[in-house]
Amino acid sequence: MLPPRWQPLCFYLSIIFMLGAIGIALLFDFRPAFLSKTLLFLGSPFVSVASRVGEGLRGGFKNYLFLRHLREENQKLRAENEALKSRIVNLEEELYVFRKLKDVSLKKLKYPKILARIIYKPWAPYEAYFIVDQGRESGLFPEAPVVTAVGGEPGVLVGQVVEVSWRYAKVLPLSAPSSAVDVLAPRSRERGLLRGQGIGHPCLLDYVPYGSDLREGDLLITSGMDALFPKGLRVGKVLKIYPERGLKFFEKIEVEPLYDFRKLEYVYILLRPREYKP
């Protein structure tokens, strides 16, 4: 096998020899059999190089198809993982309730959902809303919870509907400064009020007294005690707890929302619940 640096030279020499053989054959009226053998002899290096190049291209195309399939599978698994996380949190909350209230018969509630596409999303950090393509015509109402759409299931909390027209609705995200959500940590059952600081900034968890059992990395979910959001929706994770106390009664805690505002395209809007029998 020729070294790579000699292959272009071999290619050009093969062409020169082939052209020379054709000229000699025409000049001296050689028989076609001789011409055919000559061309085969002189063209064999070129054919060999072309064959290796073709094999390399075929191999590269197969690798491209494999990597593309692998990326699609990875995206699908990520979506399924997010849906399972939400399901696990809901099951843990149901288990907690049933352990606390073993002798009480509880009615389950089912929240119908509507898929909506985001048709306007702001660039400015403090422009505190986005617009979806569903409205009163689809049964939407103000204060309806808005969650991410993950694998056909409701995911993490995004915000709430604040204004509704016939075919459109305005949504206030968690990151908006005027947003407020009552949340709790499933691990310690500590409560707090989550407030936004603008798009691209972490949220603040207010009204958590010093000495509370909260840790960095703790999951926060909706508490269901603000008469707005159903209980058990994943909201965010404790990002940082500042150690300084100062003269305040409450801790300063930053929370990272579980959704990426930049990548939001579709959301689910939860409608009024109805009772159902499993």
Q: Is pLDDT at 107 greater than 70 in this prediction?
A: no
pLDDT per position as a tens digit, 187-205: 999 999 999 998 888 999 9
Q: What is the pTM of this model?
A: 0.63
Same domain? For 145 and 44 the reply is: no
Q: Would 98 be classed as within a structural domain?
A: no
Q: Would 136 be classed as within a structural domain?
A: yes
Same domain? For 184 and 51 the reply is: no
Q: How confident is the model over 237-262, as a mean pLDDT?
A: 86
Same domain? For 182 and 262 the reply is: yes
Cα–Cα distances (Å) from 38 to 1, 17, 104, in that order, read 22, 9, 96
Q: What is the CATH number of the domain that holds 187?
A: 2.40.10.340
Same domain? For 146 and 23 the reply is: no
Closest by CA position to 39, among listed 17, 9, 24, 13: 17
Could you tell me the pLDDT band of residue 207, with boundaries at 50, 70 and 90? very high
pLDDT per position as a tens digit, 38-92: 555 555 555 555 556 556 556 666 676 777 777 888 877 777 777 777 777 777 7
Share of the chain above pLDDT 70, in %: 68
Q: How confident is the model over 16-29, as a mean pLDDT?
A: 58
* Residue scoring higher pLDDT (223 or 93): 223
At 1 the pLDDT is: 54
For the chain, the straight-line distance linking the first and the last C-alpha, in angstroms and rounded, comes to 71
Range of the domain at 166: 109-275
Same domain? For 195 and 265 the reply is: yes
Same domain? For 46 and 159 the reply is: no
Q: Say how many domains are in the chain.
A: 2
Same domain? For 134 and 261 the reply is: yes
Same domain? For 10 and 131 the reply is: no
Q: DSSP letters of 187-224?
A: TT--EEEEE---TTS-EEEES-BTT----TT-EEEE-S
Q: How confident is the model over 236-247, as a mean pLDDT?
A: 83
Q: Would 36 be classed as within a structural domain?
A: yes
pLDDT per position as a tens digit, 144-178: 999 998 777 778 999 999 999 999 999 999 999 99
| d(C-alpha 252, C-alpha 201), whole Å | 15
Q: Would 194 be classed as within a structural domain?
A: yes
At 243 the pLDDT is: 81
Q: Would 96 be classed as within a structural domain?
A: no
Same domain? For 142 and 34 the reply is: no
- Asked if residues 175 and 181 have their Cβ atoms less than 8 Å apart, the reply is no
At 211 the pLDDT is: 84
Q: Would 80 be classed as within a structural domain?
A: no
Q: Is pLDDT at 35 greater than 90 in this prediction?
A: no
Same domain? For 114 and 56 the reply is: no
Q: Would 81 be classed as within a structural domain?
A: no
At 234 the pLDDT is: 93
Q: Would 184 be classed as within a structural domain?
A: yes
Same domain? For 60 and 115 the reply is: no
Q: Which of 16-25, 88-97, 180-189, 239-248 has the lowest mean pLDDT?
A: 16-25
**pLDDT, mean over the chain:** 78
pLDDT per position as a tens digit, 117-138: 999 998 776 678 999 999 999 9
Task: Please state, as a whole number, how many other Cβ atoms lie within 10 Å of the Cβ of residue 231.
Answer: 16
Same domain? For 54 and 116 the reply is: no
- Asked if residues 103 and 260 have their Cβ atoms less than 8 Å apart, the reply is no
